[in-house]
Amino acid sequence: MSQQVIYRPARETDRPDWIKLRHELWPHCPVDRHRLEIEQLLKSEGIVVVAEIDGMLAGFAEVSLRHDHVEGTRASPVAYLEGWFVAPAYRERGIGRGLLDFVEQWAVGRGFDELASDAELENIQGISLHSKLGFAEVGRTVHFVKPLRGDPANRSAHPNL
């Protein structure tokens, strides 16, 4: 028997489960940073959509409105898929597609013509899913940071230097 999936905007009460899902997606990000970003997302112009099954969060999609330049887009601001995740136990059920469908309807309803996103170069599964669901790859980049002061705290934040 298949379980019913409810797609809805995130609420304040979703924080504990939302943090757990975010930590699965971004395990190297400290929990305090997840809390801060959730706070920012809940106050932003964007939307966070969750997939709920039997009262449990199975996945989420976080969307911001980016007002700066976004590679490959024609307009600004643009709806930007910042994070998109389905817990491993719930994959292969169309939940990722359901989250994206909700986000797309939300964006179209606000007059947007495009939805942008990104994936890490080594995230082959994420890149493949984006392509399967209608995203077109518009470029690949490598990001850099150069510390401007020689103090140890700055160097420890950049251990490869």
pLDDT, tens digit, 9 for 90 and up, residues 53-83: 999 999 999 999 999 989 889 989 999 999 9
Q: Where does the pLDDT of residue 158 fall: very low under 50, low under 70, confident under 90, or very high at 90 and above? A: low
Which pTM does this prediction carry?
A: 0.85
pLDDT of res. 113:
95
Q: Please, which pLDDT band fits residue 136 given cuts at 50, 70 and 90? A: very high
Residue 117's closest CA among 95, 105, 103?
Answer: 103
Mean pLDDT of 125-135: 92
Instruction: Return d(Cα 32, Cα 143) in angstroms, integer.
Output: 24
Flag whether pLDDT at 117 surpasses 80: yes
Q: For residue range 28-46, what is the model confidence (pLDDT) as tens digits?
A: 999 999 999 999 998 889 9
pLDDT exceeds 80 at position 155? no
- Are the C-beta atoms of residues 7 and 49 closer than 8 Å to each other? yes
Confidence of residue 3 (pLDDT cuts 50, 70, 90): confident
Separation of alpha carbons 100 and 56, rounded Å: 19
- The token duo for 68 is 């700066």
Domains and CATH numbers, the chain: 5-157 (3.40.630.30)
Asked if residue 156 has pLDDT above 60, the reply is: no
**What mean pLDDT value characterizes the chain?**
91
The larger pLDDT score, comparing residue 123 to residue 8, is at 8
